[in-house]
A and B are shown apart, each in its own frame.
Chain A
Amino acid sequence: MFRPLIPLLKPVDRLLQLCLPASPRRITYLSRPDYCDNSYHIYRHILTTRNGIEHVWPLMDMSMAERISREFQQLVGKSGTTGNTLRVVPRGTLTAYRLFLGSRCVFSTHGIYPVTDWAWRRHFVCLWHGMPIKCVGRLNHRSPRPTPVFGSTHVATSHFFRYIIACSFGVGAERVLVSGLPRCDALTHDAAVGMRASEVRKRLGIAEDSKLVLWLPTYRTEGMQAVRGNTIRSFLDDLDRWVLPALARHSRLNNCTLVTKLHPRDPLNYHPVESVGDSIRMLTHREWLKHEIHLYDLIAASDALLSDVSSVLIDYLVTGRPIGIVGFDPETYTRDLTFPAGFLRSSKRFHHLDSDERAQDFFAAVAAAGHQAHPADDIASVFYDHFPEPSSEAICQTVGI
C-alpha cells in the first residue's frame, strides 16, 4: 500500500535532510529482528566506550523495549560511561523518522527507510547481516528486493567481499569499508562479549563438561506465509535420511550437545515439528527470545558450528573452531551464489557432512580440540581478513564517532 508512494516521498526525504539539522551526538540503530546482529554489537561498543550519546532504537515490536532499557542501565553501570541516554520508539511512526533524520549516524542491518536513498551530512552505515554467500541485492535476480538497500557506507570482512558488497548494493568500492563485522567482535575480543559462556550454558541448561555444537540452518520458504500457503520447506527437507540419526549418535558419543536455533523466518517456528531425536535440541525463535541471549554471545560460547549456506560460516572462520556444512546441495539450491560452490567444497576449513564417516570426523574434531591450525594458503582465508582492533571501533573512527 505504501510502496507506490515511495518515489513521491523520496524528494520530500531529501528536502527534510537539507532542512533538518543532524545531531552528531544522536545515533540511530535499526535491525531485523529488533535489537540484534551488527547493529546491537556496534551499539554495545559505543555505549561502553563513548560518553554523551543519545542512542535511538526504533523497533518493529515494542515488547522488546523493556529489555533494551534494562540492559542499557546494566551496560552503563558496568562500563562507567557518562551522559548516554536511550530512546526506544516504534519504527513506523513519525517520531522515529524524525529521530532518524536528526541523527548524524545511522547503523542498520537490513537497510533504512525505503524513501531514503541519499545522504546529506549523515552517515547511513549499512552493516548488513553477514557476508553474502548467496546473491543479494542487485546480484539477486531470482527474488529481487522491491526496494534497494541504501547506505552511504557499507562494510565487508575482507577485500574479497568488498567488491561483492559493492556490486550487491551498486556502489563504488571506495564506499565499502574493509573493517570486519561488529558482531564478530564477540568472537575475537573478550570485551565485546555480552554474556559469559558459563551464563549462556546455564540459561540453556547445557552441562559445563559437554561440548556445545551450534546448528544454524538458513530458511528455505518464508515463515507464516509458507505455513498459510502450505509451501513449507525447511532445512530438514534437504537432509538425507541418515543425517539426523547420525548427528544424534556422534553427538552423544563425543559428549556434545547439539543445539539447533531456527532462523527467525523459518516456517518451522510456526509449525509443529516432528521429533528430531533426544540428542538434538531445537529452539524456535520464540523460545530463543525468552532466554535473552544475543546470538553472537551464544556463538562465542560454542565449540563448533553446523550450517548450510549461511553467512555465519564466514564469521565463524575467525574462531578457528570446527565448522561443518550440512544440508546444502548446490545442485538443488535455488539461489545463485556469489562465488563458486567449489570454494566451500574444496576448502579444508569446512567439514562436509555428506557421509556418516565425515560426520564422525567432524564430531571427533569437536571433541579433540578448540582452536585448530589451518593452512595459510587455504582458499577460505580470503573470506575474513585479520583485524587487530575491534571492527566496531574501526567503523566508529571512520564515521567520526
Chain B
Amino acid sequence: MVRILLAVLDRVFKLLISTADHRVCYLSSPDYGDSAYYMYRHLAQTRPELEHVWLLNDDRIAPRITAEFRALVGATGAGGTLRVARKNSLRGYFLYLTCRHVFYTHGLYGFSNWPWRRQIVCLWHGMPIKRIGALNRPVQRANWPFGTLYLATSHFFKYVVSRAFEVLPESVRVLGLPRCDALRFEDARAHREADIRSRLKMRETERLVVWLPTFREHLRVQANAQARSFCDDVPPEILECVAREAAQHQCRIIVKLHPKDRLNLASLPAMPPGLEVLRSDDWLCHEIQLYDLLAASAALISDVSSVVVDYLVTRRPIGILGHDPATYDRGLTFPLETLFRSKRVHPLANENSIREFFRASGAGDAYPDDPGELTAVWHEPVPGKSAELLAREVGL
C-alpha cells in the first residue's frame, strides 16, 4: 500500500519537477563503485559541462568522493560540478528527480518505475551467470530493477537480461559494461598498476592473483555463523594445493570477500600461508576501485560471479574454484561446463589443473584472441569504450 502511494507521488513529482539536461545521477551498491563509478569517471573526464550527483547509502565516503573529483578534474583540466547526497533523504530524492540521466547498478528507489522524460540506465552489477530476477524462480519478487535502458556484454546476455527483468530485448543494448573499460583502456583506470602494488605492499617479482568468491546465502542469513561461505565449498586439500602452487609460481593471492559474505562479520577460518583475505572494511581502507585491481592482476579465481564474464576481455587465465552445484541453491543461466570449454578457463578441481593455472598465471600468459573462439558468446568486442558508447546512446 505504502509502495503504491509512493509510486503515485513519484509520478506526480516527475510531472511537476523539471529536469536539468546537464545533471547526471549515479548510484551503486556498495557506494561509489562498479559500472556507475566508471561511467561517472568517463563523463567527468570528457564532459566538462556536466553536474554530477552521487547518491550514497553511507555518506562517510563523501569526503573521498569530493577529494577524488577535485583530483580528477584537476588532472584532466575538465570542469563540472559535484554534489553528494544521502539516497534516503529528501534532498537525495529531489536531486534524483531533477536529473535527466540516471546511471545505477542496483538499489534505486523501488517505487520509482516511470521515467517521464528521464533516461534511467540500469547498468546492473554484471552479467548473470547465476539466475536472477524472473529467472530465479521460485524466489521471486514483483518489481525488477527499472530502467529505460539496460546493458549487456553480448547478444546472449541481451536475451538473458531481457528475460531476467521481463523487458523487451530492444531496451537491452550490447555495449559492454563501463567497468570493463578499466580492463581494456589504461586511461579508464583511477590507479596505475604500480600504485596498486605499492598500496598492497607487493614485491616486484610477485604476480597478483585476485580471488573473488561470490556469497552463498542471502543477506538475511549472512549474520548467522552457520551460514555458508566460499570456504565451505573448497576442500582443505585443494586450498593447500592452491597456496602451494601459488608460492611455487611467485603468485600472491588476494581474496576479496563479497560484501554479503558472512565472513565479513565472523572470524576468519585458518588459511594456508600465502592467501590474504580482505574483508569489505579492509578493502575500503585501500581506496582502490575493484576493476583497477583486476586490471593490475595476472589472473582471476572465482566461482559463478559475473566478474568471470568481464575478465574474459583480458585474455588472462581464469580459475573456477568453489562452485558446488549440490549446495548452491540458485540455478545458472547456462551450464558451467560450456565455460570450461574455453582454453582461458581452468576448473581448479585437481592438482594438475591448479598447477597449470598457476604456471600460466606466473608466466603472465594472455591467450590469443582466436576468431571463432567460444568466449565471444559471453563478451563480444565493442568498438571503443563502453562508457562512451553508452553516453552517446543516451544523448550525452
Listed in ascending order, the chain A residues whose CB lies under 8 Å from chain B are 138-139, 159-160, 163-164, 166-167, 172-174, 338-340, 342-343, 346-348, 376-382, 385
Given contacts A163-B160, A339-B156, A347-B372, 4 further A-B contacts (CB under 8 A): A159-B335, A173-B134, A346-B372, A378-B374
Collect the chain A residues with CB atoms within 8 Å of residue B333's CB.
159, 163
Chain A residues with CB under 8 A of B373: 377-379
Q: A166-B163, A167-B162, A376-B341 are in contact. Are A339 and B374 (CB under 8 A)?
A: no
Instruction: Please give the number of chain B residues whose Cβ is less than 8 angstroms from any Cβ of chain A in the complex.
Output: 26
Q: Is the CB of A174 within 8 A of B380?
A: no
Cβ of A336 to closest chain B Cβ, rounded Å: 11
**B173 located at the interface, meaning its Cβ lies under 8 Å from any Cβ of chain A in the complex:** no
Chain A's closest residue to B155 (CB) is A339
Whether A346 contacts B371 in the complex (CB less than 8 A), given A163-B162, A376-B341, comes out as yes
Nearest 8 interchain pairs by C-beta? A163-B159, A346-B372, A346-B371, A159-B334, A339-B155, A377-B374, A173-B163, A347-B372
> Using an 8 Å CB-CB cutoff, how does the interface string of B162-198 with A read, 1 for contact, 0 for none?
1100101100000000000000000000000000000
A138 to B170, CA, bound (A): 10
Please give, as numbers and ranges, the residues of chain A lying within 8 Å of B162 by CB-CB distance: 163, 167
Q: Is B91 an interface residue (CB 8 A)?
A: no
A379, B372: Cβ atoms closer than 8 Å = yes
Closest-CB distance, A355 to chain B (whole angstroms): 17
Binding site for A on B (CB under 8 A): 134-135, 137, 155-156, 159-160, 162-163, 166, 168-169, 333-335, 338, 341-343, 371-374, 376-377, 380
Q: Is the CB of A382 within 8 A of B169?
A: no
Output the least CB separation between A375 and chain B (Å). 8
Complex interface: chain B residues within 8 A of A138 (CB): 168-169
B residues less than 8 Å from A377 (CB atoms): 341-343, 373-374
In the complex, chain B residues whose CB is within 8 Å of the CB of A347: 372
Partner of A382, one of B159, B166, B338, B343: B338
Residues of A within 8 A of B380 (CB): 340
CA distance A163 to B161 in the complex (A): 9
* B-side contacts of A166, CB under 8 Å: 159, 163
Q: Which of B372, B373, B377 has most chain A Cβ within 10 Å?
A: B372
B233 CB to closest chain A CB, in angstroms? 23
Q: How far is the CB of B129 from chain A (nearest CB, A)?
A: 11
Q: Is B334 touching A160 in the complex (CB atoms < 8 A)?
A: yes
Q: Are A381 and B163 in contact (CB under 8 A)?
A: no
CA distance A385 to B337 in the complex (A): 11
Least Cβ–Cβ distance between A254 and chain B, in angstroms: 25
| Minimal Cβ-Cβ distance residue in B for A350 | B372
Q: Are B156 and A172 neighbours in the complex by a CB distance under 8 Å?
A: no
Do A167 and B374 have beta carbons less than 8 Å apart? no
Separation of A347 and B371 alpha carbons in the complex (Å): 7
Q: In the complex where A163-B160, A377-B342, A379-B377 touch, is A139 in contact with B334 (Cβ < 8 A)?
A: no
Neighbouring A residues of B169 by C-beta, 8 Å: 138-139, 167
In the complex, A381 Cα to B373 Cα: how many Å?
10
Contacts of B374 in A (CB 8 A): 377-379, 381-382
Residues of B with C-beta under 8 A to A160 = 156, 334, 377
Given contacts A160-B377, A343-B376, A377-B374, contact A167 B163 (CB under 8 A): yes
Chain A: minimal CB distance from B105 (Å): 22
> How distant is the Cα of A282 from the Cα of B353 in the complex, in angstroms?
53
> In the bound complex, do residue A381 and residue B137 qualify as a contact, i.e. CB atoms below 8 Å apart?
no
Residues of the B chain whose Cβ atoms lie less than 8 Å from the Cβ of A385: 335
Complex contacts, A342 vs chain B, CB 8 Å: 376
The residue that A163 contacts in the complex, of B137, B163, B166, with Cβ under 8 A, is: B163
Q: List 15 A-B contacts (CB under 8 A).
A: A138-B168, A159-B338, A163-B160, A166-B159, A167-B162, A172-B135, A173-B160, A174-B135, A339-B155, A343-B377, A346-B376, A348-B372, A379-B377, A382-B374, A385-B335
Whether the pair B341, A338 counts as a contact (CB closer than 8 A) is no
Q: Which one of B155, B159, B371 contacts A340 once the chains associate, using CB atoms below 8 Å? A: B155
B163 with A172: CB separation less than 8 A = yes
Bound complex: CA A376 to CA B338 (Å): 9
Q: Complex Cα distance A206/B291, Å?
A: 61
Residues of A within 8 A of B160 (CB): 163, 173
CA distance A166 to B165 in the complex (A): 13
**C-alpha spacing A251/B155, complex, angstroms:** 37
Q: Which residue of A lies closest to B380 (CB)?
A: A340
Query: Do A381 and B371 touch (CB < 8 A)?
Result: no
Instruction: Note all chain A residues with C-beta closer than 8 A to B156.
Output: 160, 163, 339, 382
- Name which of B169, B335, B341 has the most chain A CB atoms within 10 A of its CB: B169
Report the separation of the CA atoms of residues A378 and B373 in the bound assembly, to the nearest whole angstrom: 5
**A382 touching B134, Cβ below 8 Å:** no
Quote the shortest CB–CB distance from A137 to chain B (angstroms).
11
Contacts of B334 in A (CB 8 A): 159-160
- In the complex, A50 Cα to B376 Cα: how many Å? 43
Instruction: Report the bound CA distance from A87 to B134 in whole Å.
Output: 41
> Shortest Cβ distance from B53 into chain A, in angstroms?
34
Interface centre among B135, B333, B374 (most CB of A within 10 A): B374
A167–B159 CB distance below 8 A: yes
Q: Which residue of A lies closest to B335 (CB)?
A: A159
Least CB separation from B338: chain A residue = A382
Decide if B159 touches A378 in the complex (CB within 8 Å).
no
| Alpha-carbon separation in the docked complex, A119 to B89 (Å) | 47
Query: Within 8 Å CB of B163, what residues of A?
Result: 163, 166-167, 172-173
The verdict on A172 contacting B376 (CB below 8 Å), with A159-B338, A377-B343 known, is no
- Complex Cα spacing A380 to B373, Å: 9
Give, as a whole number of angstroms, the nearest-CB distance from A25 to chain B: 31
Residue of B nearest to A139 (CB): B169
Complex Cα spacing A138 to B160, Å: 15
Report B346 CB to chain A, min CB distance, Å.
13
Complex-state Cα separation, A166 to B334, whole angstroms: 14
Least CB separation from A382: chain B residue: B377
A338 CA to B50 CA, complexed, in Å: 37
Q: In the complex, A172→B342 CA distance in Å?
A: 29
Contact assessment for A381 and B134 in the assembled complex, using a CB-CB cutoff below 8 Å:
no
Residues in B neighbouring A380, C-beta threshold 8 A: 372
In the complex, the answer to whether A381 meets B372 with C-beta atoms within 8 Å is no
Collect the chain A residues with CB atoms within 8 Å of residue B342's CB: 377
Q: Given A167-B169, A377-B343, A382-B377: A338 and B155 within 8 A (CB)?
A: yes
Report how far A338 CA is from B162 CA in the complex, Å. Answer: 14
| B334: nearest chain-A partner, CB-CB | A159
A163 to B334, CA, bound (A): 10
Report the Cα distance A172→B160, complex, angstroms: 10
How far does the alpha carbon of A138 sit from the alpha carbon of B171 in the complex, in Å?
A: 13
Q: How far is the CA of A164 from the CA of B162 in the complex (A)?
A: 10
Q: Which residues of B contact A139 (CB under 8 A)?
A: 169
Cα distance A131–B371 when bound, in Å?
A: 23
Give min CB distance, A185 to chain B, whole Å.
21
The chain A residue sitting closest to B332, CB to CB, is A159
Q: Which chain A residue shows the least CB distance to B159?
A: A163
Tell me the minimal C-beta distance from B150 to chain A in angstroms.
13
In whole angstroms, what is the CA distance A135 to B343 when docked?
A: 31
